[in-house]
Chains A and B, each alone.
Chain A
Amino acid sequence: MLKLIIIFVMLGIMYPQVMQAEELPADPPVITIKAGRFYFSPQQIKLKRGMPVALEIEATDRLHGFSVPELGLRVDADVGRKGRLTFTPEKSGRFIFMCDVFCGSGHEEMAGEMVVE
């Protein structure tokens, strides 16, 4: 019984907060986010919990990273090479997204917010 409980708890801990791409419909709605030194536009995106979505990150000037550490999501985006993340948010809340590829003085403030309702 003890073993069973432990396995159950571990599954609970490891259950993903987003569903990965292979489980998603082929054409979810797309939100485009521009990434440039030192901003994301829009700075805030609103998503519906349980609704599949694709984020396309469009770099305007150089390589940037788009990372949502709390959801384990990240992708690179370079000029002429969009980054794409397709997922279903499974957890409500406010999550910081940020550039995680150092891009100059101002990089530290290159961040935004993902709101899942």
Chain B
Amino acid sequence: MKSGIDRREFLRLAGIGGAVFASGLGFDAVAAERRGGAARKLSDFYFVQLSDTHWGFNNPTINPDAAHVLPKAIDAINHLSRQPDFIMFTGDLTHSTDDAELRRRRMHEFKQQVEALSVKDIKFIPGEHDASLDNGAAFQEIFGATYYYFRHKGVHFFALDNVSDPTAQLGQTQLDWLAGELAELHRSANIVVFAHRPLFDLYPQWDWYTKDGKAVLDLLSPFQHVAVFYGHIHQQHYFETGYIKHFAANSLIFPLPVPGSAPKKVPIPWNAAKPYAGLGFRNVHSRQARHAYELLENTIV
């Protein structure tokens, strides 16, 4: 069975060192965790980030294979020679609908699809298409909390929700929670943040920002090793704000134009000569010996 991943590209990238981009996060091989806690040895691991699958999207001129891209990506991940420690979907799991029943059906269908993943540690955050029309109600019923903390092999992960409020903000309750969690950490802690929308003002003219994103970045700015992985803009993008590195991911449904490069923010139509161009998922490897993360961008074929 064809895996659905462009193995040649994967191997070619591996052949040049395996890195599309080495972020230089500066992870320490040994790092203290919570304040007052003992130092803990960190070890290598990797996770997979998928974003903007828009399950339920139906426009053949934009993507005539919409119902099959997610299954192909799942199959590709299942064929990776080494399986990731966990998988993160950074929002817009489903395409928005006014019909609350259809919204839930799409979410259940999506969940059923991802149950085919061999890796069972699967995490989700909502995008505005999932959560903005009902303040995250259906998402919470089917996937659980919209924002949360977890720790993995010494790295502190914060999954944030900047979409359940349709005005695109986290809100004071979530900011207070984040501040409380961060107050427990050493300044040298290794922190990874997941969000759907960019936390910095990427291109506000296209609504590519978070209204209270600056408050989040202010809370994170004292920490030296922070990476943010997000979606929403349907393309890879890299930006730094102080010590904080921001990485946007490709979509699995359609690409969008480079910010400001087109008069309007509309999907890039399907190109029959280059099907699936701009679609994909990424492997995020932590490389402790090199004190860096590596991103491997996988395309769909």
Contact = CB atoms under 8 A, between A and B. Distances in A.
Interface of A: 63, 65, 67, 69-70, 96, 98, 100-105, 107-109, 111
Contacts of A63: 166
B135 to A, nearest CB: 11
Nearest first, the 6 closest Cβ-Cβ pairs linking A and B are A69-B204, A102-B132, A102-B166, A105-B96, A96-B205, A102-B128
B129 interface: yes
Contacts of A111: 264-265
Given A98-B205, A102-B166, A109 B265 contact: yes
Interface of B: 95-98, 128-129, 132-133, 163, 166-168, 204-207, 209, 264-266
A104 B98 CA distance: 7
21 contacts: A65-B167, A67-B204, A70-B205, A96-B206, A100-B207, A101-B166, A101-B167, A102-B96, A102-B166, A103-B166, A104-B96, A104-B97, A105-B129, A107-B96, A108-B265, A108-B266, A109-B264, A109-B265, A109-B266, A111-B264, A111-B265
Nearest to A76: B167
Given A65-B167, A98-B206, 5 more contacts: A63-B166, A70-B204, A102-B96, A109-B265, A109-B266
A49 to B, nearest CB: 20
A83 B241 CA distance: 34
- What secondary structure prevails in chain B residues at the interface with A? loop
B160 to A, nearest CB: 17
A12 B89 CA distance: 44
Contacts of B133: 102, 104
A112 to B, nearest CB: 10
A100 B129 CA distance: 14
A69 B95 contact: no
A98 B207 contact: yes
A96 B265 CA distance: 11
A110 B189 CA distance: 41
A104 B95 CA distance: 9
Contacts of B166: 63, 101-103
Contacts of A109: 264-266
A64 to B, nearest CB: 10
A69 B167 contact: no
Contact of A69 (B128, B132, B163, B205): B205
A98 B167 CA distance: 13
Contacts of B207: 98, 100, 108
A98 B204 CA distance: 10
A78 to B, nearest CB: 12
B264 A102 contact: no
A80 B190 CA distance: 49
A19 B265 CA distance: 29
Nearest to A37: B98
B12 to A, nearest CB: 34
Contact of B97 (A70, A102, A105): A105
| Residue picked from B129, B167, B207, most chain A C-beta under 10 Å | B207
Contacts of B95: 105
B168 A102 contact: yes
A36 B266 CA distance: 18
A111 B207 CA distance: 10
A46 B133 CA distance: 33
A104 B265 CA distance: 16
B61 to A, nearest CB: 15
Contacts of B96: 102, 104-105, 107
Nearest to A68: B205
Nearest to A102: B132
A69 B207 CA distance: 9
A109 B207 CA distance: 10
Contacts of A65: 167
Contacts of A100: 167-168, 207
